Amino acid sequence: MATGRLEVRLDNERRRKLKDLAADQRTPVSNVIRALIDKAYEESLLVRRKRAAYELGQLKIEDVPSPSILSQELENAHEPGGIC
């Protein structure tokens, strides 16, 4: 995996919290940050999927597509890079 540098400025309290998390997990701070980003991203996708399901439920569709076609259409529309 290619990596790049990112500078983030944190106040003392957030730095302390981040160091505490890293110490509790016995891992470098950078690993904690990566894990937090991944978790936040997955939570964001879940919210988007729920919103899409709600919007679909509000539609009046007479001819419902097969589950596989519907799944592909949802993925294309609501995954990163899809139509949003």
Q: How far apart are CA 26 and CA 44, in angstroms?
A: 27
- Each residue's pLDDT tens digit, 24-66: 999 999 999 999 999 999 999 999 999 998 988 888 877 877 8
Contact of 59 with 29, CB cutoff 8 Å = no
- Could you write out the three-class secondary structure of the chain? CCCCCCCCCCCHHHHHHHHHHHHHHCCCHHHHHHHHHHHHHHHHHHHHHHHHHHHHHHCCCCCCCCHHHHHHHHHHHHCCCCCC
- Place 2 in a pLDDT band, splitting at 50, 70 and 90: confident
- Each residue's pLDDT tens digit, 7-26: 999 999 999 999 999 999 99
Sequence ranges of the domains in the chain: 12-78
Contact of 22 with 28, CB cutoff 8 Å = yes
